[in-house]
Structure 1
Amino acid sequence: MKVQIVINGKKRQLAENISLQTVMDENLAAGGRAVAELNERIIDKQAWNETMLKENDVLEIVAFMGGGSK
């Protein structure tokens, strides 16, 4: 079965019983740093593996990038 969620404003179909950790791993570059906001609540990184996504969840992924101006 599939569940529909919204990731950064775009509807996505994902496997049922998928963890936030799996989605974050799939959406970040290796070693990337990010914050996950699920249904308007920041989820602590230690809880990503045990946080299961469900139908109609809204996930915002904010990735941090290095660099800056001179």
Structure 2
Amino acid sequence: MHVTLRLEAHLPEPGSPSRPSAVTLAAALRQSAEEADRAVRDHRAPTGEPVHAALATRRSALTRP
């Protein structure tokens, strides 16, 4: 399995709140990194499912008018 993640910097104004979908994506990335670490140590392939789900949610949130 190959996963590619492209990050672009679109920095908000200082003090502005984060978008809920960005907060969800950040949490999914942290969770997936921890799960991937455990999987690799147990000789299993990491799935990245939380990241895929968060990206789908974020994509739909960004495309809504």
Please indicate, yes or no, whether the TM-score normalized by the shorter chain is above 0.5.
Answer: no
Normalized per residue, the structure richer in strand is 1
TM, length-normalised to structure 1: 0.23
Which one has a bigger Cα radius of gyration?
Answer: 2
Normalized per residue, the structure richer in helix is 2
TM, length-normalised to structure 2: 0.24
